[in-house]
Amino acid sequence: MTDPIPPAEHSPEFIRLCERAIGELEALKADPPMERGPRLITIRALLADVGLHMAEVDLRTPGFADEQGTLVDAASALQAIDLDRGGPNVPRFADRIIADLRRIATGG
């Protein structure tokens, strides 16, 4: 049996970036459906910044592949929010992204 792959260690700035995105996603869940558009722009930019940071991580870093997969999952959930912007599924999709960002930031 192989040992589990340890997560990558991220800078405090990166962790704060993830926390900021999580805060915006929490606020998105509370926004009325017709007011979610502007916040989505901010969230998209924050996730792009997370992606840029991940692009700088060495491919050989332990846990890199898992974190990349998690980031792709978060991006697909954001696309689902775009499609269901006014619908009842936005909180569920936002929670999915929040969980993904927490997993990346904390290595959990």
Q: Mark 44-74 as b/e (b = at least 16 C-beta within 10 Å).
A: bebbeebeebbeebeeeeebbebbbebbeeb
Q: Name all domains of the chain by residue range, CATH numbers in brackets.
A: 12-106 (1.20.120)
Q: What is the pLDDT of residue 28?
A: 95
- 18 burial via Cβ count (<10 Å: 0-12, 13-18, 19+): buried
pTM of the model: 0.83
Q: What is the pLDDT of residue 6?
A: 54
Q: What is the pLDDT of residue 59?
A: 66
Location of structure tokens 């792709």: 72
The size of the chain, in residues, is: 108
Mean pLDDT of each 10-residue bin along the chain, 108 residues long: 58 93 96 90 93 76 77 87 84 94 84
